[in-house]
């Protein structure tokens, strides 16, 4: 299937590894010019080399996605290099895990800046270029916690749900201008973030990480951690012409983990 994305330009947050990298690889496979953004310079340039091998142009920017100055710089350098922005993939590291009794006011501020405020700011910065072309795609990588809150992920529950709500709120206005916005809610993928969370929970339960992983997998209907490229492929589809009527949705990719109807 031809997604008709050849020559488009995508900004992808947190794209040196994990789910962001998977999105970059999937879009690069469709001929999209890729702007990689991440804090880790070594992994950033390693990913850049892998994507350039696919034959697309790549710009790698070391940046903190929670920084307003860095957000402005990302868009400015993207426009200088490629002439505009067609696709925005909002993806950032998850906020501090913990129950409501383990979260303090400074944690709320950090999560707000790193998840919600960053998301809104990047959308506002990229929209003028999408509106000028009458075409654009925005995909927010959230979490299944937007549909089923987890007791030990209070900050993620709050701010990723707010991201989904914001996207839904502006979706009707955007599609009238040829721009769609959607959320992808991943379950348990094999990423550094999941490894970190398993370590935290294993320490709480007093067992090894391997023991905790086996325990977690047994609770999954599909009995495995998913491959990040499965999510990347979904994101590529949402950016395609074929998905031009998919708008304001939150699509979970969780292997059937959640039980709710919506």
* The pLDDT of residue 163: 97
- Residue range 174-194, pLDDT digits in tens: 999 999 999 999 988 888 777
Q: What is the mean pLDDT of residues 108-136?
A: 96
Radius of gyration from C-alpha coordinates of the chain: 18
Helix (H) or strand (E) holding 156: helix 154-175
Strand, coil or helix: 35: strand
**pLDDT reading at 144 higher than 80:** yes
* The pLDDT of residue 231: 97
The whole-model pTM stands at 0.91
* The pLDDT of residue 175: 98
Q: Does residue 248 contact residue 181 with C-beta atoms inside 8 Å?
A: yes
46-55, 85-94, 124-133, 205-214: range with lowest mean pLDDT: 205-214
* The pLDDT of residue 194: 78
132-146, 166-180, 182-196: range with lowest mean pLDDT: 182-196
Residues 6+ apart with CB under 8 A from 106: none
* The pLDDT of residue 247: 98
Give the class (CATH, top level) of 9-187+228-252. alpha beta
What torsion do the CA atoms of 63, 69, 72, 73 make, to the nearest 10 degrees? Answer: -50
User: pLDDT confidence of 243, banded at 50, 70, 90?
Assistant: very high
Helix (H) or strand (E) holding 165: helix 154-175
Q: Where are the domains of the chain?
A: 9-187+228-252, 190-225
Structure tokens at 143: 């979490």
Question: How far, rounded to the nearest angstrom, does the alpha carbon of residue 46 sit from its chain's CA centroid?
Answer: 19
Q: Does residue 84 contact residue 132 with C-beta atoms inside 8 Å?
A: yes
**pLDDT reading at 258 higher than 90:** no
Q: What is the mean pLDDT of residues 50-58?
A: 94
* The pLDDT of residue 48: 95
- Residue range 63-75, pLDDT digits in tens: 999 999 999 999 9
Q: Does residue 198 contact residue 209 with C-beta atoms inside 8 Å?
A: yes
**pLDDT reading at 35 higher than 90:** yes
User: pLDDT confidence of 216, banded at 50, 70, 90?
Assistant: confident
- Residue range 75-91, pLDDT digits in tens: 999 999 999 999 999 99
Q: Does residue 68 contact residue 115 with C-beta atoms inside 8 Å?
A: no
């Amino acid at each position: 299937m031809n997604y008709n994305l050849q020559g488009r330009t995508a900004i992808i947050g947190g794209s040196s590894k994990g789910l962001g990298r998977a999105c970059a690889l999937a879009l690069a496979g469709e001929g999209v010019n890729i702007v990689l953004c991440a804090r880790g310079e070594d992994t950033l340039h390693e990913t850049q080399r892998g994507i350039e091998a696919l034959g697309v142009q790549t710009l790698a920017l070391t940046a903190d996605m929670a920084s307003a100055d860095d957000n402005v710089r990302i868009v400015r350098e993207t426009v200088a290099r490629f002439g505009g922005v067609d696709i925005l993939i909002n993806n950032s590291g998850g906020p501090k895990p913990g129950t409501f009794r383990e979260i303090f006011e400074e944690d709320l501020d950090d999560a707000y800046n790193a998840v919600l405020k960053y998301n809104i700011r990047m959308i506002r910065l990229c929209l003028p270029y999408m509106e000028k072309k009458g075409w654009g795609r925005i995909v927010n990588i959230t979490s299944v916690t937007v549909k089923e809150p987890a007791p030990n992920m209070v900050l993620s529950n709050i701010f990723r749900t707010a991201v989904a709500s914001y996207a839904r709120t502006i979706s009707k206005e955007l599609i009238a201008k040829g721009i769609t916005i959607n959320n992808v809610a991943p379950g348990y993928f094999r990423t550094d973030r999941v490894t970190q969370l398993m370590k935290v929970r294993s320490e709480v339960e007093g067992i090894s990480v391997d023991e905790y992983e086996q325990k977690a997998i047994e609770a999954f209907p599909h009995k495995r951690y998913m491959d990040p490229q499965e999510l990347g492929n979904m994101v590529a589809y949402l950016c395609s012409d074929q998905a031009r009527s998919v708008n304001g949705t939150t699509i979970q990719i969780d292997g059937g983990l959640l039980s709710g109807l919506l």
